[in-house]
Amino acid sequence: MSSYDNVMRGGLKLKGGGGLPTVGGVGKKKKKKSKKKDAGAEGGAEDAGDGAPAGELTLGEEDGVRRAYVVDNRTAAEKRYDEQMEKNQERQIQKMASKSHRDKVRDFNEYLSKLSEHHDIPKVGPG
């Protein structure tokens, strides 16, 4: 009895095979179609405007005039978060636009002068 009794021998059996027929291979499982989904798809075609995902463009008709509007399904917290992010971006843009390059260089040099000597580059080698 050899020590390789629990090792399976032979070629690999791959699922699918990319369109090539496999001899004795394992086939893909077929998905079962339910009757409820088919009936729901037919009946749901009438209510296409309801329950639209966020950002989806839907059409409305009032007084014979067709108007397109975007349905917003975000929560109140998500709306507040987006507003804060827009405000922060606006502040960043204003802050960056307010200083000239010369002012930025001057401020950076002042910052470097306030650092301790521990941050200085050590002198290496003779001289």
C-beta atoms surrounding 7 within 10 Å: 7
Residue in the structure block whose two tokens are 């917290």: 77
pLDDT of residue 6: 79
Tell me what pLDDT residue 45 has. 45
- Please give the pLDDT value at position 57: 61
pLDDT of residue 24: 59
pLDDT for residue 73 = 92
pLDDT tens for the chain, 127 residues: list them. 566 677 777 887 777 655 555 555 566 777 888 776 555 555 444 444 455 455 666 666 667 677 777 888 999 999 999 999 999 999 999 988 888 899 989 999 999 888 877 666 777 877 6
| Per-residue model confidence (pLDDT) at position 19 | 58
User: Which pLDDT belongs to residue 107?
Assistant: 92
Q: Evaluate whether 17 touches 23 at the Cβ level (below 8 Å).
A: no
Are the C-beta atoms of residues 26 and 13 closer than 8 Å to each other?
Answer: yes
